[in-house]
Structure formats: structure tokens, C-alpha cells
Amino acid sequence: MILIDYHSRVPIYEQIKEQIIELIRAGVYQPDEQLPSIRALALQLQLNVNTVKRAFQDLEADGITYSMPGRGVYVKSGAANNQKVIESALRNTEPMIRSAKAKGVRQEQLVQLIQHIYEER
């Protein structure tokens, strides 16, 4: 269920991180449920173990998961509504919007784009 866009500018480990957060928020992975093992994911996605490891390391640093060496990586309870993730997302979005404004994008164009994206699915 995790899809990697190898052409994207977004680092692969970020894509993994984002999609796992998405899956957790969607309820696919429940609190205290074990995530797929790093090695299994790396194999499935045809990626190096360290790339996946980096994604999991960031997830743990953000308080989304916890790991038990020798056992696996698990979803932290309350991870689905992690404020830290939302805040960082908003912080990252701000300069993008500011830049779009400076380049002449009109406010309505942005709002329309957002509506379009949020209506998907």
C-alpha cells in the first residue's frame, strides 16, 4: 500500500514516513500494533534497509512510533492526531505559499487548488 515516487524531489524516506502516518491516521495500523519490519518493507519496496530505517527513525523521533529492539516497531497510542506533525506541516507550507504570492499567484487560485485536493477520494 506504500507507493514510492522515485522521480519526486521528496526524499524516499520522507515519502515512507508520510504514507505510514497516513495509514495510521486511516486506522490501518492501530495503536500498539506492530508495523511491518524494516527489513520486510525494504524488501517489498525494493529499497535499501537504511532508507527505510531512516523513515522509522524519524517516525520515532516525532513520537509517532516506538521500537523495541529485537521485537519490532509499534504505533504509539495517540499517534493518529500528533500535533507535532501538523505543526511542522503548516510551518513547511507557509514559505511555499508566501513564494507563490510573490510570484503572482492569486489567493483564489490557491484556495481552489486546496479545495480540489481535499475533495479527492
> By the criterion CB under 8 A, which residues form the site for its own copies?
6-10, 18-19, 21-22, 25, 58, 61, 66, 68-69, 71, 80-82, 85-86, 88-90, 92-105, 107, 109-111, 113-115, 117-118
20, 21, 29, 56: which one contacts DNA (CB under 7 A)?
A: 56
Q: How many Å from the N-terminal Cα to the C-terminal Cα in the chain?
A: 16
DSSP assignment letter at 8: S
Q: Which residues of 91-117 are buried (b: 16+ CB within 10 A; e: fewer)?
A: eeeeeeeeeeeeeeeeeeeeeeeeeee
Q: Which is nearer to DNA, 93 or 107 (CB)?
A: 93
Q: Which is nearer to DNA, 32 or 109 (CB)?
A: 32
DSSP assignment letter at 34: B
Please give the residues from 60 up to 89 whose contact with DNA meets the rule CB under 7 A.
Answer: 60, 67-73
